[in-house]
Amino acid sequence: MSCWPPAPRGDGMREASPRGTYLLVADSLRSDITQGGLTDVLPSESSLGAKYDVSRNTVRRALKVLEAEGLLESAPGIGWRLATGGDRRDLLTKMTDLISDMGLVVGDRYPSEAELCERFKASRTAVRRALGHMEGEGLLDTVHGKGRSIRVLPASPAQP
């Protein structure tokens, strides 16, 4: 028996799902993905909302569930697409690991916002948020007009 769509009530309105409508939408999308019905880029959030007769917020919650499961990823300027299975680390972790990946030492210049946006295919807002966190943790120093430099090397994950 299919859970989607919820059964209509007598007054024409759909019965609210006790499980959460966004989970039902996520189940339906998951099924479409695993059966090959969706490939590469998904339709827009508005189109999905119209298809399932739900709000864009409900669609977004469903997409976030599938993103957490590793089935989907958000692609800036493209929308939602099937996950390619690449690097699953969050942006902050990638940017912190970049210090050791590039062999940077205390005092070295850290890449600019533009370089980080290009390298990680991330928005400037996301990069700035991660940089702010790194500065707050004391990893980076910022000098207006000069850029950022390494203040302290991050602890390696093997250290207690």
Residue type, 143: V
Q: What does the pLDDT look like over 68-97, one tens digit per residue? A: 777 888 877 778 888 776 565 677 888 999
Q: Which of 65-69, 114-118, 120-124 has the lowest mean pLDDT?
A: 120-124
Quick one: pLDDT at residue 113? 93
Higher pLDDT, 12 or 119: 119
Q: What average pLDDT does range 105-111 have in this prediction?
A: 95
| 3-class SS letters over the chain | CCCCCCCECCCCCECCCCCCHHHHHHHHHHHHHHCCCCCCECCCHHHHHHHHCCCHHHHHHHHHHHHHCCCEEEECCCEEEECCCCCCCCHHHHHHHHHHHCCCCCCCECCCHHHHHHHHCCCHHHHHHHHHHHHHCCCEEEECCCEEEECCCCCCCCCC
Q: Which residues contact 107 (CB under 8 A, 6 or more apart)?
A: 149, 150
Q: What does the pLDDT look like over 3-61, one tens digit per residue? A: 555 555 444 445 555 568 999 999 999 888 888 887 778 899 999 999 999 999 999 99
pLDDT band at 160 (very low <50, low <70, confident <90, very high): very low
Higher pLDDT, 110 or 121: 110
Query: Would you say residue 121 has pLDDT above 80?
Result: no
Assess contact for 42 and 48: CB atoms under 8 A: yes
